[in-house]
A and B are shown apart, each in its own frame.
Chain A
Amino acid sequence: MNYFPDEVIEHVFDFVTSHKDRNAISLVCKSWYKIERFSRQKVFIGNCYAINPERLLRRFPCLKSLTLKGKPHFADFNLVPHEWGGFVLPWIEALARSRVGLEELRLKRMVVTDESLELLSRSFVNFKSLVLVSCEGFTTDGLASIAANCRHLRDLDLQENEIDDHRGQWLSCFPDTCTTLVTLNFACLEGETNLVALERLVARSPNLKSLKLNRAVPLDALARLMACAPQIVDLGVGSYENDPDSESYMKLKAAIKKCTSLRSLSGFLEAAPHCLSAFHPICHNLTSLNLSYAAEIHGSHLIKLIQHCKKLQRLWILDSIGDKGLEVVASTCKELQELRVFPSDLLGGGNTAVTEEGLVAISAGCPKLHSILYFCQQMTNAALVTVAKNCPNFIRFRLCILEPNKPDHVTSQPLDEGFGAIVKACKSLRRLSHSGLLTDQVFLYIGMYANQLEMLSIAFAGDTDKGMLYVLNGCKKMKKLEIRDSPFGDTALLADVSKYETMRSLWMSSCEVTLSGCKRLAQKAPWLNVEIINENDNNRMEENGHEGRQKVDKMYLYRTVVGTRMDAPPFVWIL
């Protein structure tokens, strides 16, 4: 099979970087499997319980970069109890014992402790990059260990984590010899920041490209920081409240003009909107703008800012922009690829919310749009049909109508036809979340047309088991299916057990599946972990003949090669 020496093949493999492709390579033949595993440096593990660190290291002993994901996606919405699992410590301990040359660690939805951060910082001499997304369980003391001990630290990127801020001096724990920082993101920290330590750190980091500040960094500090980091590419502004006539503001304006490499802007966690004009000079270079946490920026100031951003590819915004604002985006941002519109008011229909008109305007004006997340008050089938016609290139389409089960507000019909049009037109669709009033019909469409669909989020939808069956039978590439409050039960769950071997996971909560259904599934599929999460009850379900018919509140199942996990809390029952 091999006409070339191994080193040549390995060299060719070096050009293959995507996980999917490398996994495919390793399946070609034994020889390629062997070459591939010794040359693989980056490994992605979508479910930390699908495998254990020992097996990972046996197969990939030259590991340098590891990505791990823990809790299921619905944990973001507080549907998964905190103690459920996803602990990173055993992984770090195993990696440390094996003396692998770890350089990068990326974690999502995992429980990270100060102890594990300390161990991480001491165990890997070449450790360079730590990215934590939606993690919890640690404090700024853990960050201090990373700062103090990782001599070649390049990236410290903390995105939307829950970090106990001890208001300590973690920033001053970076030694004076640390000059290698490229990314520093601590926007999610709630406490005070040592501004002097921060300014010194930024001043001695000539490679710093991405800096995202928390709300404790005021405008005058921002001005000084930008003055010593004009090379900045990605900036997250902390607090932005000041008097437009002040000296700090003048200094800021001068500093901003020098930041000619700035491409991405975010933050404005507290903002005085009339000071935004300081950023107008660099807006024409911006490709990414995230104002989704800037509740105080809306109206004409927001519009004026956006009108300067002609090259924007990514925009995250609050729905206070309104349909009119979205029309401005549609006419200005012709390069737009990704749009996210978040709700700004959960208390019920403000007249500043967005409707189907804004969505249609965007689809008409932005031909390159491929990813959308849109929270709105109302929708129509007609609008969705138009959007599908305008934008057949969607890869990710997530629409959330805030009121569950809401029909087409003009015709009072379910939104089956609208979403049907989306899946039929968008042949590359990989991710879909739908909402509003939906019957089994929408699932018929999804099963029929959504051939590339990998992730589907279902809530308050469908009428019978047929709905779920359409999806399981039709979507050959389904990887993650998550369902809540929908009338799917044991019949759908058990129809094709082998399907779950091709999927990463299935989540079902407040549906119609029963305990006996789950037990039967677990029996038929020993390579699955079927977890029942019953937080409020007392897990007495196993005693009693009647309990078989009792509905399961939350079920989470996933394929695994390492069997039942040992770290599950008492309220999680693994069948």
Chain B
Amino acid sequence: MGKGESELELGLGLSLGGGTAAKIGKSGGGGAWGERGRLLTAKDFPSVGSKRAADSASHAGASPPRSSSQVVGWPPIGSHRMNSLVNNQATKSAREEEEAGKKIVKDDEPKDVTKKVNGKVPVGFIKVNMDGVAIGRKVDLSAHSSYENLSQTLEDMFFRTNPGTIGLTSQFTKPLRLLDGSSEFVLTYEDKEGDWMLVGDVPWRMFITSVKRLRVMKTSEANGLAARNQEPNERQRKQPV
């Protein structure tokens, strides 16, 4: 993009379809693509028709076969209907699995989780709100395979250092780790029963079948939020403001 070297950092690993990686602003830090993952879009998958093949950059690892549920915004079903559809399928699969007596996949088998996520339980878009940011966003959970992925996407969504972006980006100069409790913000979610929990305590697959929406909450406010395996009467129900 013809800028000074000091301002530009090219990403390694997973590359974008054409063009360079995210620009690092003058305040430095945050949002470096580096070797981390990022939100996949339809551009990442090999085009079906040969006419578009030249546009797709090569990407690390084997590309999954393109099915209709992996292309952004396809099939063209309204999001309200789509959410209802995936909720039905998720509860149906969960019910079927319970009946079959299968065990829940643990987090130390990431490959299998990915396969199962992409092959069995589509989740769809869910809302994400952040404290202090007026307008919420949406994230496609089925495009993620782990908490790290998701956290990275959310960091990029809310903490880009691009001046003029909605939110409080100018205040943060280093990448935020939403999952390990070391930063000012934590990631929480509302489950199907209406309880708010910290993200990361349950296996990824269990999380995606029970999450209804996400909230990036100030750590100070998150005290008292339970991990899932606590007793119900120890949980403190918090409604988002």
Interface residues of A (CB under 8 A from B): 74, 76-79, 81-83, 134, 160-162, 166, 188, 269, 292-293, 295, 342-348, 375, 400, 402-405, 433, 457, 459-460, 463, 484-485, 487, 510, 536-540, 543-547, 550-551, 569-571
Q: How far is the CB of A159 from chain B (nearest CB, A)?
A: 9
Are A487 and B86 within 8 A (Cβ)?
no
Q: How far, in whole Å, are A295 and B137 apart by their CA atoms in the complex?
A: 28
Q: How far, in whole Å, are A219 and B215 apart by their CA atoms in the complex?
A: 34
Q: How far, in whole Å, are A537 and B166 apart by their CA atoms in the complex?
A: 14
Q: How far is the CB of A170 from chain B (nearest CB, A)?
A: 16
Q: How far is the CB of A84 from chain B (nearest CB, A)?
A: 10
Sampled A-B contacts (28; CB under 8 Å): A77-B79, A82-B135, A82-B137, A83-B166, A134-B78, A160-B81, A188-B80, A295-B92, A343-B75, A344-B85, A345-B89, A346-B68, A347-B119, A348-B67, A375-B77, A402-B75, A404-B66, A404-B68, A405-B48, A484-B73, A538-B162, A540-B1, A544-B2, A550-B19, A551-B55, A570-B162, A570-B164, A570-B166
For B42, the chain A residues whose CB sits under 8 A away are 485, 510
Which of A293, A400, A536 touches B81 (beta carbons < 8 Å)? Answer: A293
Are A540 and B23 within 8 A (Cβ)?
yes
Q: How far, in whole Å, are A546 and B2 apart by their CA atoms in the complex?
A: 9
What sequence of 0s and 1s flags, for each residue 84-122 of chain B, a beta carbon within 8 Å of any chain A beta carbon? Answer: 111011001000000000000000000000000001101
Q: How far is the CB of B72 from chain A (nearest CB, A)?
A: 7
Are A78 and B84 within 8 A (Cβ)?
no
Q: How far, in whole Å, are A103 and B19 apart by their CA atoms in the complex?
A: 52
Are B75 and A400 within 8 A (Cβ)?
yes
Are A400 and B76 within 8 A (Cβ)?
yes
For B51, the chain A residues whose CB sits under 8 A away are 463, 487
Interface size on B, residues (CB 8 A): 53
- B27 interface residue, CB < 8 Å from A? no
Evaluate whether A83 and B76 lie within 8 angstroms (CB atoms) in the complex, with A346-B68, A348-B67, A403-B67 already known.
no
Q: How far, in whole Å, are A473 and B41 apart by their CA atoms in the complex?
A: 33
Q: Which 6 pairs from chain A and chain B are nearest by CB?
A: A77-B73, A160-B80, A570-B164, A295-B88, A402-B68, A76-B78
Q: How far is the CB of B189 from chain A (nearest CB, A)?
A: 15
Evaluate whether A459 and B76 lie within 8 angstroms (CB atoms) in the complex, with A346-B68, A346-B89, A570-B164 already known.
yes
Q: How many A-B residue pairs have CB under 8 A?
A: 120
Closest A-chain residue to B140, C-beta based?
A: A78
Which of B49, B86, B137 touches A346 (beta carbons < 8 Å)? Answer: B86
Instruction: Give the interface SS of chain B, mostly helix, strand, loop or mixed.
Output: loop
Which of B43, B71, B81 touches A342 (beta carbons < 8 Å)? Answer: B81
Q: How far is the CB of B238 from chain A (nearest CB, A)?
A: 14
Q: How far, in whole Å, are A135 and B199 apart by their CA atoms in the complex?
A: 29
For B67, the chain A residues whose CB sits under 8 A away are 348, 403
Are A78 and B2 within 8 A (Cβ)?
no
- B69 interface residue, CB < 8 Å from A? yes
- B136 interface residue, CB < 8 Å from A? yes
Q: How far is the CB of A58 from chain B (nearest CB, A)?
A: 31
Closest B-chain residue to A294, C-beta based?
A: B88
Query: Which of chain B's residues 129-161 have a Cβ closer than 8 Å to chain A?
Result: 135-138, 140, 160
